[in-house]
Chain A
Amino acid sequence: MYWLEQSQVEILMNKLAESYELFGPRRDEVSGEVIFDRLGNPRQLDLSAPIPYNPPKYILFPHYEEILKYRYDRKTKKVALERINHLKPKALVGLRACDLNGLMCLDRFFLGQEFVDEVYLEHRKKLFLISNTCVRPFPQCFCVCTDSGPAAREGFDLDLTRVGERYLVEVGSKKGQKMVEELGLKEAGAEAAGLKKKVVDESVSSFDALALENKAWISRATNRLTTGFIKPEVWEYIGQQCFECGACSFVCPTCSCFNVEDVNRLDGTTDRVRTWDSCSFEGYTKMAGDHNPRKPVEDRRNKRFFCKLSYSQSKKYLRPGCVGCGRCARVCPGDIGLPNVVTYIRREITGE
């Protein structure tokens, strides 16, 4: 491991800016919210800010993305088709462990199944990832329940852990090693691993006192969802509280359902557009001719939690689809974020 002094963070950012577009947590001046956003100025990076309200998934999987452009001239019967590919390398700095784990879920899903998603791959292969250990949890967090924090274990190029006024830097890739060498960072001694462990242990042990908003009982819920022994009434209860707004999907670091539409432009071309979608929307499964196999809202609700927690789905991500960031609980107007749903399932199990 290496030491990165507070004063060297800016040097690191400037170095990255030579080859990458910079993204990281910054505080919005107007709202005061922390956003994982494009950093116009490397100094906007705020490594001590709380977990950003949005996960970084939009950088690899944009809300709205043109994936194809075509023009069809019916008179001459000529088709011009073109893959849209205008992606710059990007550096994601200050990723929380939950968000890095979410990104790895997306990797396994988009790149590791029957087909490789070429659109996602284009985004993914040009990233530089720097994670940031949560030295203390935030109120909404439950990553210790989902085994995805407070420190990242893999997937990063560089991992930062704040120790006092400086950062311990762990190298996770050749690209990361090269960066550390270019910056001429000072090697941390043999005591580094112990120092990091102490910070992480302290963070984990403060969850009870600080992460008060959410508790989740993931393993038992996973078992129940997998075996299917959850009474329909539980889903109906949850379904009744769903506003079908889709916010849970949009702030989830691992939700990746999308819609595809061809949008005609005034210049006579058509863009094939990929947009975010949510399984909570009624139109999600509706077919042409109006047949909808998942009409009741509780049908759609239970599918989302099945997708996050059931064993068969977890095989796609090699871990549960929930990374414990707590964002769904924050945004849900019906108070059925994942931790609450797990609580309802737990109540059913224990008869509370």
Chain B
Amino acid sequence: MESSLIPIVTVPEVATVVEIRDEIDEVKTFYFSFDRPEIEQAFKVRSGQFIMCTVFGAGEFAVSLPFSPENDRKHISVRRVGKVTAALHELQPGDKIGVRGPFGNGFPFEEIKGKNIIYVAGGIGLIPLRSSIVHVLQHRPEFGRVILVYGARSSRDLMYKESIREWKATENFETYFTIDRPEPGWNGEVGFVNQLVAKINLPAENTVAFVCGPPVMFNSVIKELKLKGLKEGHIYSTLERHMKCGIGKCQHCAIGRTLVCVDGPVYTYKQIKTLGEQI
């Protein structure tokens, strides 16, 4: 698989937005396909990688890829947060975008076969983790226990409701959902994700964790996972930074001695600790 990955480096490839879905407040999912059939065919990703997405007339931004490398529709899910993402949110189906990439190292896949996996996501932190979750579920027998702990401020802030419905019905996939405060009609957990992680009976040996969410949540979850005995090298996260090139040249995404675009965006907690910078 790896050998067929030829990223689009300098000139963006034109793609068409084929469908747009409202996910949560200010977050939309854009399904896209490349205009050139040969690119549509050749564009292969690893879970956890990202692309540089051009909104024509506005600029380019880095965005993680939520789709599985296999049998999944190409899409990105984007919060309206700055100038370029605001312009993206104005697009309609049929509009064009530009794509460079895929870039970055991605989540481990082969290396974690046979292991238990716990995914811990907060808010839109589920977006990059989705690619790994779907990929692992597509190869379910090759892994141990697979657990998802997902929390958001309220039930309205939970991403990918359709996937969640599917996942809840998936056998051998333990899913836990939590919201910060009780709500009528909510029969999941209430509280922060770290409190929920604390309650889960998790073997420390042979378990890897994938954590993504806001920094406060990240730190509290790491603490919980370490209490459970998980090794720092077995806790993975994906970092985001201001990025301009995606290919390790503009240097905007430097953290410590590494560049998020080529050395990351996936880091183990063990690595993150040695970077000597805020995440």
Q: Identify the A interface with B (CB < 8 A).
A: 67-68, 70, 72, 74, 77, 79, 81, 83, 109-110, 113-120, 228, 256-262, 264, 270, 272, 277, 279, 284-289, 293-294, 299, 303, 306-307, 310, 312-313
Contact = CB atoms under 8 A, between A and B. Distances in A.
Nearest to A81: B11
Given A257-B252, A312-B257, A67 B56 contact: no
Give the 4 A-B CB pairs with smallest separation, nearest first. Answer: A288-B82, A72-B56, A115-B247, A312-B257
Contacts of A286: 242
Interface string B247-267: 111111011010000100000
A68 to B, nearest CB: 6
Given A118-B9, A293-B277, A257 B250 contact: yes
30 contacts: A68-B11, A70-B56, A72-B57, A72-B96, A79-B56, A79-B96, A83-B11, A109-B249, A115-B247, A115-B248, A116-B9, A117-B247, A118-B9, A257-B251, A259-B244, A259-B250, A260-B245, A262-B54, A262-B59, A262-B60, A264-B57, A285-B252, A286-B242, A288-B61, A288-B82, A288-B84, A293-B278, A293-B279, A303-B254, A312-B257
A256 B252 contact: no
Contact of B59 (A261, A293, A303): A261
Given A114-B262, A117-B249, A260 B56 contact: no
Interface in B76-135: 81-85, 94-96, 98
A288 B12 contact: no
Contacts of A119: 10
Nearest to A302: B276
Nearest to B263: A114
A282 to B, nearest CB: 12
Interface string B201-229: 00000000000000000000000000000
Given A77-B94, A312-B257, A270 B248 contact: no
B144 to A, nearest CB: 33
Nearest to A109: B249
Given A70-B56, A77-B95, A79-B56, A258 B244 contact: yes
Contact of B58 (A110, A114, A257, A262): A262
Nearest to A80: B14
Given A77-B95, A285-B252, A270 B242 contact: no
A259 B57 CA distance: 17
Nearest to A269: B57
A326 B250 CA distance: 24
Nearest to B79: A289
Contacts of B277: 293-294, 299
B161 interface: no
A302 to B, nearest CB: 10
A115 B252 contact: no
A285 to B, nearest CB: 6
Given A77-B96, A114-B262, A289 B81 contact: yes
Interface in B44-75: 54, 56-61
Nearest to A287: B242
A115 B56 contact: no
Contacts of A293: 241, 255, 277-279
Given A68-B11, A288-B85, A294-B277, A256 B59 contact: no
Given A110-B249, A270-B56, A288-B81, A313 B257 contact: yes
A249 to B, nearest CB: 10
A283 to B, nearest CB: 9
Given A77-B16, A79-B14, A260-B250, 19 more contacts: A68-B10, A70-B98, A74-B95, A79-B96, A81-B11, A114-B248, A114-B262, A115-B249, A257-B252, A261-B59, A262-B54, A284-B252, A285-B252, A286-B242, A287-B240, A288-B81, A289-B82, A303-B254, A312-B257
